[in-house]
Amino acid sequence: MHSLRKMIIWSSCLIFSLSYSILVFASSPAKHMCRPDQRDALREFKNEFHFSGTAPNEKTQRWLNNTDCCSWDGVSCDLKTGNVVDLNLWGSSLNGSLRSNSGLFKLQHLQSLNLSSNNLAGILPDSIGNLKHLRVLKLYGCGFFGKIPSSIGNLSYLTHLDLEGNGFTGELPESMGKLNQLTKVLLSTSKLSGSFHHALLNMTELTWIDLRSNHLEGNLPSNMSSFSKLVHFDVGSNSFSGPIPSSLFTIPSLIFLNLEKNSFSGPLEIANTSSSSLPSKLETLTLGGNYLNGPIPGFISKLVRLSLLDLSFWNTGSTVDFSSFLHLKSLVLLDLSYLNTRSLLELSLFSKLVSLSMLDLSGNHLKISSSLHLPSPLGSLSLASCNISEFPNFLRKQPNLYYLDISANQIEGRVPDWLWMSELVYLDISKNALTGFDGPKDAIQTSPLEMLDISSNTFQDPFPLLPNSTRFFSASDNQFSGEIPTTICGLVSLDTLLLSNNRFIGSIPRCFKSFNTKLSLLHLRNNNLSGKFPEESISVGLISLDVSGNQLSGELPRSLINCTRLEFLNVEDNMFNDTFPSWLSLLPDLQFLVLRSNEFHGPIYSLSFPKLRIFDISKNIFTGVLPLDYFANWSAMSSGAYVTDNKQERFMGFSFSNYHKSVVLAIKGSEMELLGSGFRMYKTIDVSGNRLEGDIPQSIGLLKGLIVLNMSNNAFTGHIPPSLSNLTNLQSLDLSENRLSGNIPPELGKLSFLALMNFSNNMLEGSIPRGTQIQSQNSSSFAENPGLCGAPLQETCGGGEEVYEVIKEENDQVLSWIAVAIAYVPGVFCGLTIGHILTLYKPEWFMRIFHSFA
């Protein structure tokens, strides 16, 4: 009883004590963990940016002044010191550049910083190197440009560096070699140049290297095995060349290896192919889109964990043992397209790969049996250019197939009705001999197809019904006629419409206005469309518009000024009658402007086209003088010629924008059609066939990336500007049919890429400069310039120069004798006079002088 009472008393005391403690805690003011200097730095950093005020993910907008900054969204603090150690503002709608004196750099104790997916367009300041405790730095997709600052080498504790998806240029800084604790470096999708930096070889702790989609070149180091802990290595879509280092295949930890879309060449040879020396954990191996040759190495069949294998465009040059791939039972994706082999490939062979979901066998000699059955998980199948003559029956039994490419075959007749009953989302049946669709109207319209390419067939009227879900439709290069059907306007999701090279007549449908912001590609090239281009038919989302080769008239629709994403505009070979559309300079992304062969007229004023690569206003009626600074702000043409990756986009690719662009340009004396990557390869100015006059602007010499320059058939006067010698990438120069005078600048002889030039029909004079490129030209390139002489013309300069020297020498001798005569007569007179005076008044002086000479 006594013990029970004692227990009750103790319990009461305990309850009272706890209650008192809670009461005191509740009544006392809350103590903030965050230090005042850290809070002030965060507030300062927040105030450096402007916000839309509407985005729900603006974390800093929820930072309240009367709350502990360690509780703010994206902020974490050290529990003991109150210092901010982690700042994660990923996708927080920050807008503005990162200042060198930003409040961010006052957070000296930061260990992890993530500002990814914000709009911080500008230079990454050197001050980033002040955050010396950083272990994780993530700045992907921020819009940074310029060079990666060398101060990044000060971050000696850094283990994770992610700068991908920016616009960084130049080489990696040498100081990165100090980051010997780095385990992950992600620098993909930028504009980095140079070779594989040797500084990376010092980072022996690296497990992850991602350098894909840059402008890197040269050979990979032979000692790649120094990355002994490497798990992920990706250098795809660069310009690396030479052999693939065999040491890459001796890293036992490697799981992912991507070398696709480079210029690697030669055979792939591995000295030791025993299973123990190979990367047995490798799951992804992509070597496609290079220039590899020789037999496919047998060791690949020993990499039994492979789930993704791409060997496309391998120039085997002999037979291939396709059965070796059957050892790879875990394969989900297999790309063996365009192997250049004589071997016949039995499609049934792959029925044993039960996990296979994506298969590309394009460009091979294929045999398909009527009883073929492939694994039902197959979702993507590419059989382009396989000499197939009919729709394969086995496709009926592929319920999961959503991607089918059987283009460039020999399939004739009509598209079967059972295709509309499938789950296909993408269907490419272009470049066959198909004539129409079969199938009930409802089945076609309710099909889930989103992307349909029927171009380069023999389709005729009536124009086919299309699935309501269509987003991409190409029917170019067929035999459709009549007016463009307005049923197309009911496709509310349509993004791309390509109807070029048909026989359509009438006007552009006004109902195109229903696309509003959806339509991004509209190509109606080479039809017989006429009338004015309706203002309302322009979709503000347009990226590419091509209506060339029609009979459209009137003014260029001013509603194009609303197309702020427009990159490509081609209206050549129509009857547009308008002044120069100077308002197009307000479109920030315009890269290709072709107004050729219309009735545009009037002067051309100074404009800024920072991204323009192709400028063709030839064969119009433009007049006036080009200002001296006309080309001063054409930044894209001022940079060196950039040749983009020209390998075909393939396998599961929905990147059609390059493939379907087309324009005819006058290049090297003849007309040439540019397709696809040619647009990024060529930087062209063509103002020929107008009535422009005055001097050729000296600012033309700023365009160092220019490859083609045609200013012929105008009324330009004055001298050829010597600044043309700065155009070191120039391949074609045509200044013929003008009124140019003076000499051909001798500096032009140093332009080593200049394959074609034409100075004919001007008023040039003097000797033609010496130089291999100039001397190799046909004499017609210099014809009809009466004062020109020297090779390759028959008029020599040597004889004329000798006659001139003789005449000059005779004239000089005559002048010399005249001078002597002029000096001699007064000299004699003065001498006689002085002699007379001396003999009369000082005879002793005269005798003394006489004796001294004697």
pLDDT digits (tens, 9 = 90+) for 237-248: 999 999 999 999
pLDDT at 839: 40
pLDDT range class, residue 19, cuts 50, 70, 90: very low
pTM: 0.81
CA distance 544 to 777: 38
pLDDT at 5: 52
Tokens 């599961």 correspond to what residue?
A: 652
Total Cβ atoms within 10 A of residue 23: 10
3-state secondary structure of 332: coil
CA distance 367 to 376: 20
Calculate mean pLDDT across residues 631-645: 70
Return left, alpha or beta for 503; rule: phi > 0 is left, psi -120 to 50 is alpha, else beta.
alpha
Calculate mean pLDDT across residues 669-689: 65
pLDDT range class, residue 493, cuts 50, 70, 90: very high
264 within 8 A of 292, measured Cβ to Cβ: yes
531 within 8 A of 556, measured Cβ to Cβ: no
CA distance 381 to 419: 14
pLDDT range class, residue 371, cuts 50, 70, 90: confident
Mean pLDDT of the chain: 85
Per-residue pLDDT reduced to its tens digit, 90-126: 999 899 999 999 999 999 999 999 999 999 999 999 9
| DSSP 8-state code for residue 500 | -
The better pLDDT of the pair 639, 176 is held by 176
pLDDT range class, residue 607, cuts 50, 70, 90: confident
**Most confident segment among 223-232, 749-758, 821-830:** 223-232
Which of 18-22, 438-442, 607-611, 792-796 has the weakest average pLDDT? Answer: 18-22
Predicted confidence (pLDDT) at residue 847 exceeds the cutoff of 60? no
CA distance 229 to 203: 10
Question: How far from chain centre, in Å, is Cα 559?
Answer: 27
Calculate mean pLDDT across residues 202-208: 94
Which of 150-164, 449-463, 563-577, 774-788 has the weakest average pLDDT? Answer: 774-788
Predicted confidence (pLDDT) at residue 810 exceeds the cutoff of 70? no
Total Cβ atoms within 10 A of residue 10: 10
Predicted confidence (pLDDT) at residue 276 exceeds the cutoff of 90? no
800 within 8 A of 778, measured Cβ to Cβ: no
Which of 54-58, 83-87, 117-121, 340-344 has the weakest average pLDDT? Answer: 54-58
Kindly provide the b/e burial profile for residues 372-384, where b requires at least 16 CB atoms within 10 angstroms of the residue's own CB: bebbebbbbbbbb
Calculate mean pLDDT across residues 143-158: 96
CA distance 524 to 546: 6
Determine the residue type at 537: S
Sign of the four-CA dihedral 199, 201, 202, 203:
positive
Per-residue pLDDT reduced to its tens digit, 557-604: 999 999 999 999 999 999 999 999 999 999 999 999 999 999 999 999
pLDDT at 273: 62
Calculate mean pLDDT across residues 513-539: 92
SS (H, E, C) 742-768: ECCCHHHHHCCCCCEEECCCCEEEEEC
Predicted confidence (pLDDT) at residue 805 exceeds the cutoff of 90? no
The better pLDDT of the pair 555, 850 is held by 555
Cis check: omega of the bond before 295, within 30 degrees of 0:
no
Token pair for 395: 């496709």
Q: Domains in the chain, ordered, with CATH?
A: 344-468 (3.80.10.10), 496-643+659-761 (3.80.10.10)
CA distance 358 to 362: 12
Share of the chain above pLDDT 70, in %: 83
Predicted confidence (pLDDT) at residue 814 exceeds the cutoff of 70? no
Helices (H) and strands (E) in the chain, counts: 8, 54
Calculate mean pLDDT across residues 4-31: 45
Task: State the DSSP H helix or E strand holding residue 496, giving kind and residue range, or none if neither.
Answer: strand 496-498
Sign of the four-CA dihedral 564, 568, 571, 572:
positive
321 within 8 A of 344, measured Cβ to Cβ: no
Q: 302, 288, 304, 374: which is closest to 339 by C-alpha?
A: 288
Which of 481-495, 625-639, 707-721 has the weakest average pLDDT? Answer: 625-639
Instruction: Tell me the CB-side half-sphere exposure of residue 138, using CA atoms within 13 A.
Output: 15
pLDDT range class, residue 799, cuts 50, 70, 90: low
Question: How far from chain centre, in Å, is Cα 264?
Answer: 20
Tokens 């095995």 correspond to what residue?
A: 225
658 within 8 A of 677, measured Cβ to Cβ: yes
Per-residue pLDDT reduced to its tens digit, 472-489: 999 999 999 999 999 999
Q: 589, 584, 568: which is closest to 675 by C-alpha?
A: 568
Cis check: omega of the bond before 462, within 30 degrees of 0:
yes
3-state secondary structure of 149: coil
Per-residue pLDDT reduced to its tens digit, 63-74: 988 889 999 999
pLDDT at 509: 94
Q: At what angle do helices 843-853 and 798-841 cross, to 10 degrees?
A: 140
Beta strands in 347-468 (DSSP E): 358-360, 365-367, 380-382, 403-405, 412-415, 426-428, 433-437, 451-453
pLDDT at 777: 86
356 within 8 A of 375, measured Cβ to Cβ: yes
pLDDT at 749: 85
CA distance 466 to 447: 9
Total Cβ atoms within 10 A of residue 389: 10
Sign of the four-CA dihedral 502, 505, 511, 516:
positive
Q: 678, 683, 674, 714: which is closest to 697 by C-alpha?
A: 714
Cα angle vertex 27, ends 21, 31, to 5°?
A: 90
